[in-house]
């Protein structure tokens, strides 16, 4: 789940070639330890999946002329993204029956680990400083014009939501074999905790203690915290005057629940390093660090695939599709011919549907499991200092493992659809409008295209959507779109009835299943491959990892927690 409103993107120190976009690799060393950039994970194609490589496609893109946003079938503009957000994604607080907010925020963490659109935001503003629509704006802008009479924005005379285009292969004359524009990603395509360790040596060096194999964390009030920073780049998202956190990813401060997930993994690395040092006192710093990193990444992969994704996609379906396995030992199913690159449809639509499941308030819970206070999400976004005040950290850590998520539907809290990144303004951004506009900028195939690709009947009329969408929602589609072939993937996919045992309908389930199959199969160093460097005994220990154990081992002051932190206590 990627909260992106407005970002200054700085060109990473990677070289883009006129062949495959991404890192230019001169030589690979066959090692069990990962590179930061992901280079040489595939020894046959060493720059596959590296930063600033292209996204992959589930289906042929749908662009307008010269890579512009496509038109509707009748030649008119697609319905305004903010109008779609207002009509389809209305405010509601219906709780999810099983999942906690910990599951949703871990899902966001996973999404960030795999994808970060490389935005073309180096010059100019896409809206005025007072959030007004600009008739003349920089070429890279793809802002959303807010329609008249918008109930959230009209009162404050706000007429613009800033959105920029993403860089493509054509901007850097790479991957020239592609017949269409393909966007670039800033991160690598591997599930490797790059959010914690960074993608470049330059960043990585600032995060390491270079002592006892540890990451550099500060001790404040008896707890380990990220280093604080106030450089413009690292604090771009922190719109207040407070210092923000320095880690491997600039999105760390976006909301306090996400920040906690980041911090738990950094603390886990240091816990592992301490344990390794006590067992191996002769190991040097580098050996301790790389081994702790190797184990932490393996735990991250195990928790994601064996604890989180079965709740999103269904355990039996994942077993059937060889995404997870019952076999206790190594699986060794690596395929060097599978590109690890993330599907554009997964990053810009499939995983975005979980934005609708984010609560508008975050509960603070005591040791007995009782909420004693809550904070409105709009008041704590981009304010990491809030976590270090009073007992906020322990309270919200318990809360995210206790508070239900919002039910998976098209309903969305106003904190997400009108007050995101509000800072000192009276009104904020709309994540749904941004997500929808971004999906159009990326030229995603239509909902009807992907339905057919996933084995469903291609709709000839709107009523053909009734097989997986409720009648009242099909009626909305008729009001918004001119033809079934005009319907956006994000909108149609989110509207589908949720399949039992999952958190999405058949189309988004299809996309995510294929992506997560691809992610494990294309990773030579996946924890279930013997090439990972893990021993059978280590693999057995890694399979004991869980999100609750991660919190219990690393959250000072948390004494008890349910066995399955992604599930509400009454649903276990």
| 112 is known as an active-site residue | yes
Residue 277 backbone phi and psi in degrees, to 5: -65, -40
Q: For residue 349, what are the contacts with CB-CB under 8 A and spacing of at least 6?
A: 439, 444, 489, 490, 493, 508, 511
Q: Are 281 and 386 in contact (CB under 8 A)?
A: no
Q: Is the CA virtual torsion 145, 438, 3, 491 positive or negative?
A: positive
Closest CA to 44 of 531, 530, 524, 527: 524
355 is in an annotated binding site: yes
> What phi and psi values does residue 107 have, to the nearest 5 degrees?
-60, -40
The DSSP secondary-structure symbol of 65 reads: G
- Region for residue 508 given its phi and psi (left: phi exceeds 0; alpha: psi -120 to 50; beta: otherwise): alpha
How many angstroms separate the CA atoms of 96 and 259, rounded?
Answer: 23
The Cα–Cα gap between 142 and 164 comes to 5
CA triplet 177, 57, 437: central angle to 5 degrees?
Answer: 110
53: nearest Cα among 25, 90, 88: 25
Provide the greatest CA pair distance for the chain: 71
- Which one of 112, 262, 341, 564 is the catalytic residue? 112
Find residue 220's DSSP bridge partners: 223
What is the β-pairing status of strands 361-365 and 371-376? antiparallel
- CA angle, corner 413, sides to 258 and 462, nearest 5? 115
Query: Would you say 474 and 493 are in contact if contact means Cβ atoms under 8 Å apart?
Result: no
Residue 166 DSSP symbol: B
Q: What is the DSSP string of 136-165?
A: S--TTB-PEEPPTT-TTTGGGT--EE--BP
CA distance 565 to 260: 14
Taking residue 59's Cβ as centre, other Cβ atoms within 10 Å add up to: 18
* C-alpha Rg value of the chain to the nearest Å: 23
Span between the terminal Cα atoms of the chain, in Å: 25
Separation in Å, CA 271 to CA 32, 76, 443, 572: 21, 58, 44, 28
Is 404 in a helix, a strand, or coil?
A: strand
- Sign of the CA dihedral 301, 305, 308, 309? positive
Could you give the residue numbers annotated as active site?
A: 112
Residues annotated within the binding site for heme b are 355
Residues annotated within the binding site are 355
């Amino acid at each position: 789940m990627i909260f992106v409103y407005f970002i200054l993107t700085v060109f990473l120190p990677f070289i883009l070639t006129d062949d495959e976009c991404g890192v230019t690799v001169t030589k690979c060393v066959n090692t069990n330890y990962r590179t930061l950039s992901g280079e040489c994970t595939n020894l046959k194609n060493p720059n596959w999946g590296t930063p600033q490589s292209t996204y992959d496609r589930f289906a042929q893109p749908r662009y307008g002329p010269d890579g512009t946003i496509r038109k509707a079938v009748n030649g008119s503009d697609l319905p305004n993204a903010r109008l779609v957000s207002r009509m389809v994604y209305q405010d509601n607080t219906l709780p999810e029956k099983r999942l906690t907010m910990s599951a949703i925020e871990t899902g966001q963490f996973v999404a960030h680990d795999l994808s970060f659109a490389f935005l073309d935001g180096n010059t100019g503003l896409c809206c005025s400083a007072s959030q007004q629509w600009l008739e003349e704006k920089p070429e890279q802008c793809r802002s959303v014009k807010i329609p008249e009479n918008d109930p959230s924005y009209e009162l404050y005379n706000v007429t613009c939501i800033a959105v920029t285009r993403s860089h493509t292969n054509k901007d850097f004359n790479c991957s020239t074999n592609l017949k269409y524009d393909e966007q670039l990603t800033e991160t690598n395509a591997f599930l490797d905790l790059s959010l914690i360790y960074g993608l470049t040596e330059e960043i990585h060096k600032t995060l390491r203690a270079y002592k006892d194999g540890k990451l550099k964390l500060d001790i404040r009030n008896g707890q380990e915290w990220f280093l604080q920073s106030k450089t413009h780049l690292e604090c771009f998202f922190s719109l207040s005057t407070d210092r923000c956190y320095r880690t491997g990813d600039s999105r760390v401060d976006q909301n306090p629940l996400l920040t906690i997930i980041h911090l738990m993994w950094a603390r886990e690395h240091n816990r592992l390093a301490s344990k390794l040092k006590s067992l191996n006192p002769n190991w040097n710093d580098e050996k301790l660090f790389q081994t702790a990193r190797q184990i932490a990444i393996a735990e991250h992969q195990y928790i994601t695939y064996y604890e989180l994704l079965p709740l999103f996609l269904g355990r039996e379906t994942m077993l059937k599709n060889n995404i997870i396995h019952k076999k206790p030992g190594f699986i060794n199913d690596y395929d060097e011919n599978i590109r690890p690159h993330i599907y554009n449809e997964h990053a810009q639509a499939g995983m975005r549907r979980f934005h609708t499941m984010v609560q508008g308030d975050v509960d603070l819970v005591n040791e007995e499991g009782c909420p004693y206070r809550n904070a409105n999400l709009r008041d704590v976004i981009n304010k990491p200092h809030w976590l270090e005040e009073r007992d906020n950290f322990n309270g919200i850590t318990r809360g995210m493992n206790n508070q239900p998520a919002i039910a998976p539907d098209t309903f969305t809290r106003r904190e997400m659809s009108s007050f995101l990144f509000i800072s000192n303004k009276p009104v904020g951004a709309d994540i749904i409008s941004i997500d929808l506009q971004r999906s159009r900028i990326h030229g995603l195939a239509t909902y009807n295209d992907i339905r057919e690709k996933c084995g469903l009947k291609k709709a000839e009329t709107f009523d053909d959507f009734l097989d997986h969408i409720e009648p009242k929602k099909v009626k909305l589609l008729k009001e918004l779109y001119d033809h079934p072939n005009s319907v956006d993937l994000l909108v149609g996919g989110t509207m589908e009835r949720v399949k039992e045992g999952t958190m999405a309908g058949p189309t988004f389930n299809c996309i995510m299943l294929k992506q997560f199959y691809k992610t494990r199969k294309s990773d030579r160093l996946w924890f279930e491959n013997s090439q990972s460097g893990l021993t059978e005994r280590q693999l057995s220990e890694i399979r004991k990892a869980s999100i609750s154990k991660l919190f219990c081992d690393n959250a000072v002051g948390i004494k008890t927690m349910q066995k399955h932190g992604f599930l509400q206590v009454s649903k276990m």
